[in-house]
Structure formats: structure tokens, C-alpha cells
Structure 1
Amino acid sequence: MALLSGRCPVPKVLLASAEWSLLLSRLRALVPEAFDSQGRVLNLVAGEWGYPGHAKPYLSPVDGSLLGFLPMLDLATATHAVASAATEAEEWARVDLDTRKERVSACLDLLREHHELLALLLTWEIGKPVPQARISVERCISGVKWYVENIEPMLEGRGPLGLISNIASWNYPMSVLMHATLVQVLAGNAIIAKSPTDGGLFSLTLSMAFARRCGLPVSLVSGSGGKLSEALVKDPHIACLSFVGGKANGRDIASSLYDRKKRYMLEMEGVNAYGIWRFSDWKALAKHLKKGFEYGKQRCTAYPRFVVERGLVPRFLEMYLPVLASLKVGHPLLGERPEAEPPAVDFGPLINSQKVEELHGMMSEAESKGAIPLYKGRLEPDLFLPGQDVSAYLGPCAFLHVPRNCRLYHNEPFGPVDSIVVVDTEEELFTEMNVSNGALVASIACDEPETARRIASELRAFKVGLNAIRSRGDREEVFGGIGQSWQGCFVGGTYLVHAVTEGAPGERLFGNFPDYTLLPERR
């Protein structure tokens, strides 16, 4: 199947809903065991695909079309799935490392063979432009391969925990959720994962079917997080919980785990800020900021807040507003261009129209209370099909002087909406950059290295970039958070393996816990 090709003007030929039918047919032919006789996706429970559950419509953010149905389980079935997976964990713990490596490697070979199909599924499911979807799949494959090649010293003197439960958000089903589960299995654990309700069902179904065929102890279920939490979070068979999601749900989960002897890694939201202080390299900063809009800033490491020294505001806006104007928002399956040319679109839809409505509500509230709208991007008809549903799309927006009593001031928008804050002193800079009292990343744009390092030392962010953006990272790079942006073990590199294995009695794991905090040196 060829993607769109061509140069401007963009042709009006896209992979329309009939093309989704073709992708779905290919998927069903590859893993027929994962579908019932009516073509609906099943759950993977006790090593078998079954339990169709309650069918919930599953829509594409690309154009609002129906992709299929989520097979939503009840609590009793999820509890059965957990108990069965725990039995598998006992058996898998006795499998030697060489065998585990062989089976994980075989799964990676299947993922690599069907790389393009996985990328196209991701595009339809979560709206990520195809080139970015390919990167997500490749990050999963190459990242797990790195662990296969380097895991022996990480496991020295350690044993598996047992059954790991994985609940992750919809934005990175491959490079976060699938990546984590394969590493957890490689370390000797069995896993049970919940399909994100908003996106990733089909790409995860294909990936987990491949994993199961390779003899890996994986289970995949769908259902309401609230209804299944007794099984996927609190069930005594669960030895460890890996959670990626919003702060509200994360806080509830954290409070339920504090009194239980259970390992956990809870990645939650925070307001990541970029500070601009005594700075002059505007061309370099423009490149950083434009790249930061990839996937419409639907990332836990996106920067929605810019804190700018008052005297630099004119130069900052002179650089920043053209960046916003240059962004192309449209159908994520638009034709690709040669590498030397700009992409057809910089980002596609947000995850659904409800998210767009939520952001409009936050922006309206801010404006009504005095925020100054600096920019509101428009959707260009040439980047969409005629008559296409565009309710899930939102152009880049920016606001100056957002009042403190607004949601946009304190909350992570998780979309292409920026806030600009003007400050006069370093103390104000610290305060405004630490608005959420804990974040995953932050950055400083500053010409003076000593000043930049001093400012960085005052920021409550796990990773701080100096004239550079920070990200979750891959392979050996550690990842975590400060304050309420993270609870539990840090991950990445050796720490991901340590988080899901048992070492010497009484060991203190690297992480952010209620009773103590151990933070790695910022890099």
C-alpha cells in the first residue's frame, strides 16, 4: 500500500475509510486468533484470545470514522485474567535467560517485518503523522533490542518480581507500553496490560499476538480503568504496577498502594516550562520550539509554558510567532515529501473532539479573565478532505498573562496551547517555572553557562536542558519525575530492569517515594 505522494499543492487523494478496511483485513489475516467470527477484537486471557465483553465503539481521531469496537471486560473476568497470568509468572520465572532472549528477539523480528502496518495502524488510531508513527515503532524495536544485548549485568544477583500490571495512556502504545512489557518479560516476569481506551487497540493486539506466538507470557485486556482497578491495581497477585496517565487517576492509585507491599512506577503530569533568560540565539531556539509541536504536544515531555525575561519579550515574540504561523495542521496521512522538504503536516488531530472542546473551554476561561490571545491557528482546507470531520483538530494557540485563577495557568493542556509568562527577576523565573511544584522536564535558554546552571539547580524538574529540550529518552537514559509528576521507581536503562526485579533484602530502589526521595544527578 502506497502512502500519498506528491508536492504542493497537496493532492486530494488520501487513505480514506476503505483503506482502513484494507488495513484491518491485513491485520485479521495475520492474527486471526485475535478476532471473533464477526471480526471484533478479543481479549487475551489465560493464553487464549476470547471474552468479547461489552462492545464499545472505537473511533478514529483522523476523521471520526468507526475503526471497530473495544471488547470491554467486567471485573470478574479481569480478576480471572490476573489470576491466570500470575500462574504463568511462576512458570516463566523458571525459564532461563537465553530462552527468554531468544523468544523476545523472535517477537522483535515479527514487529520489524510488519513495521509499516503497525505505523499505519497507529496513524489511524491516535492521529500521529505516518513518519512520526514509524519512529514510535522503531523506538520500541530498537529499544528492546538494546536490552536483549545488555541485560545480563542488569540482572546480576536479581530475580523477577512476578506479575507486572501495565496501564498506560494512548499516546505511545508502542514506544512506551509495548517496549516496557517486553523488557519486563525479558527480565523474567509475566505481564498483563490494559488497552488504552482512546487509542492503540489494534497496534497492541497485533503486537501482543506476535508476543504470544513467540511463547511470551503476556495478557491484554480492555475495560474501564475505574471498573478494573480492583483487579489490575489492587489484586494481591499483582507484584508491580506500571502506570502512565493523568495526575488525578495517578493520585488515586498511589494512595491505594501506599499501605500495600507492592512495587510501582506511576508517571503523571506536570507543567514543563522553558525559561528564557539573558539569551540571544533565537534561530536555534526556533528549531527547538517548532520540533516541540510534534504530535500536537500530546506528550508528557512537551513544553506548554514559556517564562521570558521582560527585556527579551520583543525578540522572543519576533522569533516565536512565525514558528506558530509555519506549522501545518491537517490529515496525518497526507503525502510524504523528500527529506530536504518540509513535512506535509507537522501534526494531525488531537486524540478526540472532546479534548478539543476541553481546550477551547480552558482558553475561553483564560480570555474571560484577562489573558491576551497572541495567536490562534486556523485550519487550512487544503490540508483536509472535502467535507471531512475536523472536530478533533486544533491549530496552535498562544496566550500572554494567563491569570493565576485559570485552569490554563496550573494545568498541563496536553495539546498545542502555550502560555507566555513575563518575569523581571531570577526569583520570579524560578517561581513561574515551578508552577506545578514538580515536573518531568524543564529547559533554560541562556547565553551564560554559570547562570544557566544556577537556574537549573532551582528547578523542580527531573531533567533540565541547557539550551536544549529534554525528552523521556531511550536505552540507558534514566527517566522519572519530581513532586506529584512521578511516584515510585525511576525507569530507563538499568533502573527499568531493577524496578521489576528483586535484589538483596532491604534494598532501596532509585525513585520518588512517599518516605524518601532519591534523585539521580541531572544530565
Structure 2
Amino acid sequence: MLKVSLGKINNVLGHQEIESTEYFEVYDPGNKTDVVASVARGTKETANQAVETAHQAYLKWKFVPVKERVQLVKQAAVVLEESTESLRPLLIRENGGTVKESTADFIRGASMIHNMADRAEAFLERSSFENTVSWMSIEKNPIGVVGLIVPWNSPIILTMSKLAPAILAGNTVVVKPSREAPVALTLALKEMAKVLPHGVINVVNGRSDVTITLTEHPLVGKISFTGGTQTGSSIMASSASTVKRVSLELGGNDPAILLDDADINKIMPRLCKGIFTRAGQICFAVKRVYVPKYMMDRVYEAMSDIVNDYQVGHGLDERTTFGPLINQKQYDYVQGLAEKAKQSGAVVRQLGKKVDPEQWQNGYYMLPSIVRDINHRHELVVSEQFGPVIPLISYNSIEEAIEMANGTEFGLCSSVWSEDHERALAVARRIEAGGTFINSHNVDSLSLDMPFGGVKQSGLGRERTEIGFSEYIEYQAIRMLKE
């Protein structure tokens, strides 16, 4: 198994590395005795220093012409692309992904930067209006220092979705990576920072005190967070003390509704990919499937046939379909949900194969399970499982399916599966979600032209496209009366 030996990973303030008096170890969830790296634990003081560094950079960066900013940011994207081969093994070891998943994280991250850079000049252009009474200009100004608090599961693309529009708009950033997977991201951002002016990109790893410092600091004008709903609520409350702008991409409990004309054999590989990629640890993974009652046996068996061929193991092993859960807490939680489902009388079918059975106990590995005959209000159905256990819920009418699909506090993404596109579209428009896919629902379903974000308790704001760009600017109206 390929491993890359690392020393200490320090925090990054512009072009400088900042050491710490304390370091925390990052372990491989697929090999619990393997220390990936020791990472500097930032403090409130480190975070304050990072904000001040970012603020001083902002005072100059905001005046750099947009065209020049675009060129520099595209150079940073090239640096990210070139880091893929060296950093991919580290990312696999810290967050449990596979080679394919981790490669895609880097590729999509770089593509996101290029895409937003290509939109920047046109979007940031000021608009002017004139009539017989006055002349008016609508300016699009940067906010200032932006705090980016990012997750572990796809840290590259999820960070670049925020970082690219933020710095292209003239802001500077302080990034706080997840403690579960800070290594590859910190190293990538350190190299990207070198092609930008000092202080445009800063990275501080650490505990909640770093987060609180960012959310309460008066020089931080905006917080953008991706993670759990409970943490997002706390960040929103903490940011309120200085009336910060916030963007929150929070938890999901995405429903997939199969209509009675769905071609089960055709759609099943795509549906299963949307459920089990990253062991189900994706915010917009399919987390519950609604099936016409008379089709349940056929759907259950068709899904079982595919899932039974899945191989669970370490991400660096090319035989692996998906890797481990991220930590002991998540492992215990998902196992507990499956056990509660059994105790409720539901049928829980465990499937798949172990890649390396002898190493199974040394990681947070879990075979995939399909659950049927379960109450639609069961905890497994209405929670964000974030694991390889999928409940199938039967319905008698499309009205019932829509009501159940909308019956949680979540509203990130959703999907409708049907051979009749007009019928599927009519159902899609009745689902309470930030995004709805038709006949797909996996990582390949997203488009750079598709705004991404949730409704209800799945978040505030959007990422991607010009809509996502608008999250990182302040509009200023200037009106001059004619004499």
C-alpha cells in the first residue's frame, strides 16, 4: 500500500508557514494505526493573526483589476491540478475515499476555479443607467475577509466552490479545514497561495475556538460553511453578533422517487451510485428511496444484485468500490441505525464483500445494507445517515410519495425516476429541495451551470454560477442627479 511520509503540517498565513506549540495527529480511517500527518493546532491568536493578514491583503487585492485577478487565480488552478498525483494518496488516507473519488475531487476543484474565473469579468462588470433626471451605477464590490469553514468528505471541490468566487470578487480568505481531513487541502492551499499576493489565501487548522474567532471577528465580513445542520445553526448564531453575511450548505436527507413507469434495470446502476459512493458520506447522496408498492420486490432484488458485487476496503486498493466510514462516532451511529431498523421489524439485508478481511477490524469498514418494510417515520428514514445503509419505502399513490419526500426538515437535493419526462418534471416541481435531478442523482449529476444549495434546514445561499458569485459581493448603488 502506497504511503507518503510527512513531517509536520503548519498553518499558512499568506506565503508564510506558522508553527504551533501543539500538533494533532490525523489517522487513516481505513488503517487506524497509520498516522497520516501531525497538523498544527491553531489557536484564537493564530486565527486573529490570519484575519489581520487577510485584511491587510484585502486593502490591496480589491484594487487589482479583475482581468489580472482572473489570470492569477487561473495560475492557482494550474497549481492545484499539478498537485493531484502527489496529494491524492494523502487525501485517500485521511478521508477514506477511493483513488477514483479522490482524483475527481482534485479535477472538479480545478475545473470549478477555471469555470468561475471565466465568468468573473462579465459578472463583476458594473451596470449604469441614465434618464433625463439622473445617472446611476450599480457597483459590485468585495465584502472583505471571508471565513471558509469546510468539510472532510470532498475537501478540494467544496473549498474551491467557495474560494474561487470569493477571491475573484476581490475578497481574501481564511480557510479552516476539517480536523478529519486537513492534510491534502492545507498543502494544496499553501502552494496555491504562493502564486497570489501575500495574504490572499490563509489556512488555520484547529478546534472550535478557531471557528468562533472567525465568526465573531469584526474584520471578517462573511462566513461560508459546509457541514452539519447543528453546527451550521451555531455558526449562524455566532455570526449574528457582528451581523455577518453567512452562506450555509448543510445536511441532506435526499429522497429518490421511483415512478411506476421507471425502467428498473436501466436506472439501477445510476441509482446505486448515488446511494453508495463514498460509503454514502455525501451531503446530496440518495438517502431514502420511495417505490410503488407493487414494484418493491423487483426493485429490492435488482438493487441487491448490484450491491452484492460491491467490494469494501481501503481506498488505495484498486479493487475497492467504497472505503470506510470516517471515524468511530460515525461508524457507531450508522451501525446503530441499522440495528434499530432490525429491532423495529424491518428487513435489513447486508450485502457486498470484504476486500481484505484480515484488516477489517483495523478500519471503520461497513458492508452495504438495503432495508425494506420500514416505517416511513423511522429514524433511519428521516435522518441524515451518512453511511452505506439505504431504506426503501413503499407508497400507494404519487401524492403519498410526495408528502413523504417533503416530510422532513431537510431540502438539499432530490430525484425523480421515470420514462415519461413530462410526468417526472411535474413531480419534481412539487418537491421541496434546492435541486432536483431527473433519472440521475449522483456526483456526476451536478453541472457547473447548476446553482447548488438547499432549502429548509439544508442551508442558506447557493454555490456555482453567477448566483453563487453574488454571495461574495456587496451591491452599491451610486446615483447622481443632473443639474
2:437 partner letter: G
Residues 369/388 of structure 1: CA separation in 2 closer, same or farther (3 Å cut)? closer
Q: CA deviation at 1:456?
A: 1.8
Q: CA deviation at 1:260?
A: 4.4
Q: CA deviation at 1:265?
A: 0.9
1:177 partner letter: T
Q: Say which of 352, 377, 382 aligns to 2:351.
A: 377
Residues 74/127 of structure 1: CA separation in 2 closer, same or farther (3 Å cut)? same
Q: Deviations over 1:284-315 (max 9, x none)?
A: 21121232222112111100101111111122
Describe how 1:212-251 pairs up with structure 2 within 5 A.
212-216=193-197, 217-225=200-208, 227-251=209-233
1:460 partner letter: E
Residues 496/356 of structure 1: CA separation in 2 closer, same or farther (3 Å cut)? same
CA contact (8 A) 1:362 1:407 kept: yes
Question: Using the alignment, how far apart are the partners of 1:319 and 1:279 within structure 2?
Answer: 15
Residues 457/437 of structure 1: CA separation in 2 closer, same or farther (3 Å cut)? farther
Question: Using the alignment, how far apart are the partners of 2:35 and 2:313 within structure 1?
Answer: 19
| Aligned-residue identity in percent | 24
CA contact (8 A) 1:437 1:460 kept: no
CA-atom RMSD in angstroms? 2.1
Question: Using the alignment, how far apart are the partners of 2:83 and 2:70 within structure 1?
Answer: 20
Q: Does 1:464 align with 2:436?
A: yes
In the other structure, the counterpart of 1:57 is 25
CA contact (8 A) 1:143 1:474 kept: no
Question: Using the alignment, how far apart are the partners of 2:247 and 2:157 within structure 1?
Answer: 17
Question: Using the alignment, how far apart are the partners of 2:370 and 2:376 within structure 1?
Answer: 16
Question: Using the alignment, how far apart are the partners of 1:114 and 1:229 within structure 2?
Answer: 27
Q: CA deviation at 1:259?
A: 6.4
Q: Say which of 364, 389, 393 aligns to 1:417.
A: 389
Residues 187/447 of structure 1: CA separation in 2 closer, same or farther (3 Å cut)? same
Describe how 1:34-433 pairs up with structure 2 within 5 A.
39-45=7-13, 47-64=15-32, 65-157=34-126, 158-199=140-181, 201-216=182-197, 217-225=200-208, 227-258=209-240, 260-292=242-274, 293-335=276-318, 344-373=319-348, 375-377=349-351, 379-380=353-354, 383-384=355-356, 386-387=358-359, 389-403=361-375, 406-433=378-405
TM-score of the aligned structures, taking structure 2 as reference length: 0.90
Q: Deviations over 1:182-224 (max 9, x none)?
A: 332122110000021111x221222111122112411100111
Q: Which moved more, 1:86-95 or 1:98-107?
A: 98-107
Residues 224/442 of structure 1: CA separation in 2 closer, same or farther (3 Å cut)? same
2:75 partner letter: A
TM-score of the aligned structures, taking structure 1 as reference length: 0.83
Question: Using the alignment, how far apart are the partners of 1:224 and 1:505 within structure 2?
Answer: 40
Question: Using the alignment, how far apart are the partners of 1:327 and 1:358 within structure 2?
Answer: 22
SS in 1 for 2:174: strand
1:414 partner letter: F
2:66 partner letter: L
Q: Is the strand fraction higher in 1 or 2? A: 2
CA contact (8 A) 2:20 2:41 kept: yes
1:215 partner letter: L
1:331 partner letter: H
Question: Using the alignment, how far apart are the partners of 2:106 and 2:267 within structure 1?
Answer: 28
Question: Using the alignment, how far apart are the partners of 2:419 and 2:341 within structure 1?
Answer: 33
CA contact (8 A) 1:327 1:346 kept: yes
Q: Deviations over 1:147-182 (max 9, x none)?
A: 223311111121211111000110111111134213
Q: Which moved more, 1:53-62 or 1:270-279?
A: 53-62
2:345 partner letter: G
Question: Using the alignment, how far apart are the partners of 2:396 and 2:73 within structure 1?
Answer: 54
Q: Does 1:479 align with 2:452?
A: yes
Unaligned residue ranges in structure 2 (runs of 5+): 127-139, 479-483
Question: Using the alignment, how far apart are the partners of 2:377 and 2:269 within structure 1?
Answer: 32
Q: CA deviation at 1:277?
A: 2.1
SS in 1 for 2:9: coil
Q: CA deviation at 1:433?
A: 1.1
Question: Using the alignment, how far apart are the partners of 2:362 and 2:416 within structure 1?
Answer: 36
Question: Using the alignment, how far apart are the partners of 1:405 and 1:301 within structure 2?
Answer: 20
Q: CA deviation at 1:99?
A: 2.5
Residues 474/91 of structure 1: CA separation in 2 closer, same or farther (3 Å cut)? farther
CA contact (8 A) 1:128 1:332 kept: yes
Q: CA deviation at 1:453?
A: 2.7
Structure of higher RCO (CA pairs closer than 8 Å, 6+ residues apart)? 2
CA contact (8 A) 2:273 2:442 kept: no
Q: Does 1:20 align with 2:4?
A: yes
Question: Using the alignment, how far apart are the partners of 1:490 and 1:262 within structure 2?
Answer: 16
1:160 partner letter: P
Unaligned residue ranges in structure 1 (runs of 5+): 1-13, 25-38, 336-343, 507-523
Residues 444/46 of structure 1: CA separation in 2 closer, same or farther (3 Å cut)? closer
In the other structure, the counterpart of 1:29 is none
2:292 partner letter: E
In the other structure, the counterpart of 1:11 is none
CA contact (8 A) 1:141 1:179 kept: no
> Matched residue pairs, number?
460
CA contact (8 A) 1:354 1:392 kept: no
Residues 254/387 of structure 1: CA separation in 2 closer, same or farther (3 Å cut)? closer
